[in-house]
Each structure stands twice: as structure tokens, then as C-alpha cells.
Amino acid sequence: MKTQLKLQHCKTLSTGLLTFWLLNLVLLSAPATSLAQAFDAAALAQSLRGIDRDISDRMRDADRKPVEVLQFLGLEQGMTVLDVYAAGGYYTFVMSRAVGDQGTVYAQNSPTASRYDQDRTDMTQGEALEGKIRDGKLANVVLIHQRISETGLADASVDFVMVSQILHDYYNRSPGAAHELLTELYRIVKPGGIVGIIDHIGTAENDNNRLHRMQKSQAYDAVTRAGFLLEAESDLLSNARDNPRRSIFDPALNRGTDQFLLRLRKPDA
């Protein structure tokens, strides 16, 4: 009788161990799933209306549509983000709130860019950015006061890159300068990662260098040459009232330019 009890106990124990082993085998062999998830658009929109955000940025939201733009680009909570030439921090603030406490936003300005005057204020862009981080209590933002080629960011270390209204400056300096920027971003972003490009649309017959614009076809060529996949584009920021013969700084436009919005993807390894 005792022998039968011992055998029964051993059978039960063996069955339990077998079940445990099989369960772990299934878990280990199952494909990994991302813990990232889409940000709460309604909560982000509410947060951006708060008094801890710069009023001039709030006034630009109707034209810049930051929540809709980030939804289109596929930003998710918990992501690691690079804001290229963050300037005064418009998108730094928005993306900081979107990725949440588990995410990180690297806000990059070169030393020269940090000294530029912030539009319609008596402070520099660097001061404006630091003020927004302080006033908004953006604890997940890391400032990078270096040129984009000197950030120190590791290969494949970033999920998402924002390049807002700056590619034209590189391209108009020379297509080679734009290629250097984009290949550096290709190095930094993870396989499968996203790059968002926003810029002011120019036309072939105008001096886009003087006007701070670029042709969409030039952007297409530059990003694909750097190895990115042009996954999608949106007309969210299109503006039929724009006059492409005017500088983006022309007061008559009030920054209401016609802009393209591209979502790029780094191919999976």
C-alpha cells in the first residue's frame, strides 16, 4: 500500500514537472511581442492644452496638428525618440508627453542652433527649450548640445526620429549634406524604426535656398538614397493658401506654409 502511494505521488510530481516544462517551452518558442502601445490621443490633446505649456506653441497647434501627425507617424508609448534640431522644443514637449514615463526623448541642438533667436521672443532657442523642459517637468527629456554627427548615440539605439522643418537647410546647402544627415540617422535608428519628415514645399522655378523650402521630389530622392523605405505620406499639413514664392518667414504667411509629411521606415535586419 505504501509503495502504491509513493508511486502515485511520483506520477503526480512527474506530470506536474512535465506540464511546467512544456509550458516554458511554448513560452520560449513563441515570437517576442512589443510592450509598446499607441499613445492615448485624447489624453495627449488635453495635456497639450495645459497652462504648463508655452502659449505660443499652443497657438500653433491648429496649423501643426501635432497629435494627428504623431498618430500618422506611428509614435508609441515607451519609445526612445530623437528630436533632430529640436530648436525651441515644440515637438520635444509633445513627444515627451506622448511617450510617457517609460519613454525617452533626446532633444538635439547644435551649439550654434542653441544660440539662434527663438521666433518672436527675446530668448534663444536653447533657452526656450530648457524653459519648456523645466516648466513642463519633462523628466524623460535628455538634452544633446552637439552637432547631429556628434551625439554619441549608439548604433540602432532609437525607435523614432523626428526631422521637422530642417531637411531643406541641409539639402539646400548641398544634397551631400542631406545625405550625411540621413545616413547618420539610418545608423542611429533601430531596424524597423521610424523617421518622420516634415518640410516646407518649394517649386523648381523658385530659389528655395532663399525661401527655406524644398521640392518633395528632392526629399524622396534623398531618403531613398540613404536606404530608408518611403512607407507613407500624408496631406495633413497641406495648405492651398500658401504662396511658394514667399519665404517661410514672410509675416504675410504667418508660418502657414504648404508642408509635406513623410513616414520612413528603416528596413528590418
Q: What is the pLDDT of residues 59-90, one digit of tens each?
A: 999 999 999 999 999 999 999 999 999 999 99
2 in the same domain as 127? no
The per-residue pLDDT for 4 is: 41
User: Is the model more confident about 30 or about 256?
Assistant: 256
Q: How confident is the model at residue 35 (pLDDT cuts 50, 70, 90)?
A: low
Mean pLDDT (the chain, rounded): 88
In whole angstroms, how far apart are CA 250 and each of 2, 60, 168, 199, 244?
95, 16, 17, 16, 11
Domain count for the chain, please give it. Answer: 2
User: Is the model more confident about 216 or about 112?
Assistant: 216
- Rounded Cα gap, residues 11 and 32, in angstroms: 34
175 in the same domain as 250? yes
Would you say 140 and 105 are in contact if contact means Cβ atoms under 8 Å apart?
yes
160 in the same domain as 27? no
Comparing C-alpha atoms, which of 268, 261, 196, 264 is closest to residue 231? 264
108 in the same domain as 17? no
Residue 108 has pLDDT above 60, yes or no: yes
Q: How confident is the model at residue 32 (pLDDT cuts 50, 70, 90)?
A: very low
* C-alpha angle 65-71-72 in degrees, rounded to nearest 5: 90
93 in the same domain as 160? yes
86 in the same domain as 19? no
Looking up residue 235, the CATH number of its domain turns out to be 3.40.50.150
Task: Give the mean pLDDT of 158-187.
Answer: 98
Residues 6+ apart with CB under 8 A from 120: 56
111 in the same domain as 2? no
Task: Give the mean pLDDT of 85-108.
Answer: 97
61 in the same domain as 22? no
160 in the same domain as 75? yes
44 in the same domain as 11? no
57 in the same domain as 6? no
Residue 233 has pLDDT above 80, yes or no: yes
Q: How confident is the model at residue 228 (pLDDT cuts 50, 70, 90)?
A: very high
224 in the same domain as 95? yes
Residue span of the structural domain in which 133 resides? 36-265
Total-model pTM: 0.85
